[in-house]
Amino acid sequence: MNINRTSGFSLIEVLIAMVILSIGVLGLGILQLSALRNTQSGYFRSQATILASDVIESMRTNLPAVAAADYEIAFAAAKPAAIDCYGEAASCSTTQIATSDLNRWRTMLDAFLPSGTGQIGTVDNGNTTKVLITVQWIDPSTAEDGPEQLNLVTDMPR
pLDDT at 13: 85
Label residue 7 by pLDDT band (50, 70, 90).
Answer: low
Domain presence at residue 6: no
Distance CA 70, CA 131 (A): 12
pTM: 0.77
Taking residue 126's Cβ as centre, other Cβ atoms within 10 Å add up to 6
Domain presence at residue 126: yes
Domain presence at residue 1: no
Domain presence at residue 37: yes
Query: Over the stretch 83-97, which tens digit does the pLDDT of each residue have?
Result: 888 777 778 899 999
Residue 2's Cα: distance from chain center in Å? 75
Distance CA 128, CA 140 (A): 38
Domain extent, residue 47, equals 11-157
- State how many domains the chain has: 1
Distance CA 108, CA 127 (A): 31
